[in-house]
């Protein structure tokens, strides 16, 4: 096996197995390549044998080149994922080395961008103790951002919601039901999790399971996202609920009809949608005038 073979297998795992974004695949591939160049390793068994001190030396060398704390944290996540993948390829349990990253100062408050959301999902999935848990967390996050679900709505889904179709019936606040479309990437994430989940997903049982097989608790998702935002230097406002907010804001900014957005979010009134998306009054008025039939007469 050559270094090129290792990197190709790692790339395929990231792109096809974990469905990472092209940007993340490039970054993680580059980190693995630097590690192999520094160590001279050309086989999975040697990569799998690397431990915390080995990765610490690699990071120290990168810091000497002027790598920032935030970039160092991302590099560490990539290297731990690479070692975990190598261990899974050599018959081990795929647990990454234990090594904590640098402490990061809180970043200035800013909205969660699509790239940040992708990085959050990648980081949470990559740092999970087991592959199925990483797939589970990615599916939950994609439901909140890709379909605008509240965290409680995502975790209330049942096994009967499998297999995911082009739309999903969601029960929101007050028992109000609505239909939301599911993007292919969201459907793929749910399908991937369902295939990897070690517990039977009965039609009347919870779709998303905790590590011991019970219903996944909201606190676990919140804690995972809290850890990810610290590593990525995101503000404290980058919470699971902010994913739903970002879904609404990005759709509205792209020209989505306000009434349709209200239906997607499950809001009882247009006023709730206005407050939730924090759209300025002028933009809201223009959108409303363009959408309201009386304004077109």
**Residues with catalytic roles:** 150, 173, 241, 244, 267, 276
β-partners of residue 209 are 215
For 170, list phi and psi in degrees, rounded to 5: -120, 140
Distance CA 266, CA 276 (A): 12
Residue appearing with tokens 């640098």: 102
Q: How many helices (H) does the chain have, and how many strands (E)? A: 14, 2
CA 172 to chain centre: 22
Among candidate residues 23, 7, 25, 5, the one with its CA nearest the CA of residue 15: 25
For 180, list phi and psi in degrees, rounded to 5: -120, 145
| 3-state class (DSSP) for residue 41 | coil
Contacts of 14 (CB under 8 A, 6+ apart): 20, 24, 25, 28, 29
Q: What is the DSSP letter of 91?
A: T
**Which contacts (CB < 8 Å, 24+ apart) does range 274-279 have?**
276/245, 276/248, 277/245, 277/248, 277/249, 277/252, 278/245, 278/249, 279/249, 279/252
Residue-wise burial string across 188-201, b where 16 or more C-beta atoms lie within 10 A, e elsewhere: bbbebbbeebeeeb
Q: What is the DSSP letter of 292?
A: -
CB–CB of 140/220 below 8 Å? Answer: no
């Amino acid at each position: 096996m050559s270094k090129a073979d290792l990197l190709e297998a790692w790339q395929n795992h990231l792109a096809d197995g974990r469905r990472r974004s092209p940007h993340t695949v490039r970054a993680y591939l580059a980190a693995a390549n630097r590690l192999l160049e520094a160590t001279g390793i050309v086989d999975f068994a040697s990569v799998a044998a690397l431990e915390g001190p080995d990765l610490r030396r690699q990071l120290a060398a990168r810091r000497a080149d002027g790598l920032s704390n935030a970039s160092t944290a991302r590099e560490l996540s990539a290297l731990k994922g690479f070692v975990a993948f190598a261990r899974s390829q050599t018959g081990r349990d795929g647990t990454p080395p234990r090594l904590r990253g640098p402490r990061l100062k809180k970043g200035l408050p800013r909205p969660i961008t699509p790239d940040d959301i992708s990085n959050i999902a990648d980081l949470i999935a990559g740092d999970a103790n087991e592959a199925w848990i990483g797939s589970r967390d990615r599916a939950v996050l994609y439901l909140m951002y890709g379909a605008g679900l509240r965290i409680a709505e995502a975790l209330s889904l049942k096994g009967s919601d499998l297999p995911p179709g082009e739309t999903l019936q969601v029960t929101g606040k007050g028992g109000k039901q609505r239909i939301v479309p599911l993007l292919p990437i969201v459907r793929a994430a749910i399908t991937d999790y369902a295939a990897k989940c070690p517990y039977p997903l009965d039609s009347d049982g919870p779709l998303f399971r905790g590590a011991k097989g019970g219903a996944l608790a909201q606190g676990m998702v919140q804690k995972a996202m809290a850890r990810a935002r610290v590593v990525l230097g995101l503000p404290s406002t980058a919470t699971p609920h902010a994913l739903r907010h970002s879904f609404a804001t990005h759709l509205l900014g792209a020209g989505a009809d306000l009434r349709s957005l209200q239906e997607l979010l499950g809001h009882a009134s247009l006023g709730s949608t206005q407050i939730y998306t924090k759209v300025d009054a002028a933009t809201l008025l223009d959108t409303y005038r363009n959408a309201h039939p009386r304004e077109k007469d």
